[in-house]
Structure 1
């Protein structure tokens, strides 16, 4: 029994909101429209989520000496 099923049996779940960043089931294959979660009702892109302040800005390291440097350790968006 899955975790939410167990909780539902004990307490009863009225609503469940899935705020997934990856709307695909992890299969290891290339994601297609058929692999999308069937319950997805909104597509909010990463760039839009960053602009809205909902997620952190991804950081990309462009040097490999591991010394923080404001010129080389910055957002690439």
Structure 2
């Protein structure tokens, strides 16, 4: 489940959701600028650092959402 809370007087939102790494799910929150174009929503954030010991090798740089579908790009540690 993903939720977004608008930050007053801006186009930025605090986005919160669950991220599963190595079969462990943790809550993650970050601030992103959200734009909408013809029903497609895009959220762009600053660099988000994740704990490598929980299975993520790289930082998340961009998260995009198309209506209700969210894509999170990460690289898993092997």
TM-score band by shorter chain is: under 0.3
Q: Which structure has the higher relative contact order (CA within 8 Å, separation 6+)? A: 2
Structure showing greater Rg: 1
- Give the number of the structure whose residues are more often strand, by fraction: 2
- The TM-score normalised by the length of structure 2 is 0.20
- Give the number of the structure whose residues are more often helix, by fraction: 1
